[in-house]
Amino acid sequence: MGRSNVGKSSVVRQLTGKKVLVGKRPGVTKRINRYQVGEMEILDMPGFGFMSGVSRTAQERTKTEIVRYFELNHGKIVLALEVVDISSFSDIADRWEKRGQIPVDVEFFSFLKELGLNLFLVANKIDLVHNDDRDAVLDELAEKIGLPPPWRQWTDVIVPISANTGEGVSELKKLIRQKMHELGKGRYLGWLK
Ligand code: GDP
């Protein structure tokens, strides 16, 4: 799950090797995309938050639909991955905070945590952040979601990757494998490329 255009479908493609739809015109709301993989199902959730060309009412409806989905189904969810676009996270978060609001990514992270989900925060598009700036933006992300920086203390939660270049993807897969084994669900890992 994640905001529109952060790279959710690209992440699903990297993890599963499946040719899922990537780069659909941003602004087009979509339904939940489901991929059956053995006994598990992968869900690519609709993007939430601001999308150009989509009315506020439609955005709110999508958000409500996602929240309701998680409330009703959290017992069946083995793992949740929230994807953020780390290259624009800081600017977008600042904009929300200037308006006195909690950034929607941050709000969703707390919501998923409160539901008790096993949760990874995938900081995607790290290729767009200069090497020298990476620690600073990741520290800021950690702080915003309530994990005291440095972010390197939280590498079991915050995972910087580039779904385009493949950087960090093997680390994410490793964490998913570890977590699934820890949960006694290692036998359901067939979907992971
Ligand atoms: P979704 O709307 O969240 O499912 O996002 P998509 O997977 O469709 O990706 C949206 C756009 O971001 C596409 O043009 C992707 O090629 C691009 N994108 C996805 N991941 C990355 C990444 O890690 N780095 C860069 N530079 N672009 C990415």
Q: What is the pLDDT of residue 187?
A: 93
Tell me if 6 CB under 6 Å of ligand 1.
yes
pLDDT tens readout for residues 21-74: 665 555 555 678 888 888 889 999 988 887 778 888 988 889 999 999 999 999
The pLDDT, as a whole number, for residue 35 is: 86
CB 33 within 8 A of CB 44: yes
d(CA 182, ligand 1 centre) in Å? 30
| The predicted structure's pLDDT at residue 122 | 98
Asked if residue 61 lies in contact with residue 48, where contact means CB atoms within 8 angstroms, the answer is: no
Distance (Å) from CA 184 to ligand 1 centroid? 32
Dist CA 158 CA 156 (whole Å): 6
Q: What percent of the chain has pLDDT over 90?
A: 75
Domains of the chain and CATH, by start: 8-191 (3.40.50.300)
Closest CA to 46 of 144, 36, 64, 14: 64
d(C-alpha 79, C-alpha 24), whole Å? 25
Contact of 128 with 91, CB cutoff 8 Å: no
Q: Closest Cα to atom 16, ligand 1: which residue?
A: 23
pLDDT over 80 at 140, yes or no: yes
Extract the tokens encoding 119.
Answer: 């949760």
* Single-letter amino acid, residue 185: K
- Does ligand 1 lie within 6 Å of residue 14's CB atom? no
Omega before residue 150 within 30° of 0, cis: yes
Q: Which residues contact 78 (CB under 8 A, 6 or more apart)?
A: 40, 118, 180, 183, 185, 188
47 lines ligand 1 (CB under 6 A): yes
pLDDT number for residue 54: 81
Provide the pLDDT for residue 51: 74
How close is the Cα of 110 to the center of ligand 1, in Å? Answer: 24
Could you tell me the two tokens for 107?
């709000």
Which of the residue ranges 9-13, 48-52, 90-94, 149-153 has the most confident prediction, judged by mean pLDDT? 149-153
The conformation of residue 166, written as its DSSP 8-state character, comes to: -
Q: Is the entire prediction scored with pTM above 0.85?
A: yes
- State the average pLDDT over residues 77-86: 98
Q: Write out pLDDT tens, residues 106-134.
A: 999 999 999 999 999 999 999 999 999 99
Average pLDDT over residues 135-144: 97
Best residue among 4, 5, 171 to mutate for probing ligand 1's pocket (most ligand atoms within 8 Å of CB) is 5
Give the single-character DSSP code of 66. H
Positive or negative, the CA dihedral 51, 55, 58, 63 is: positive
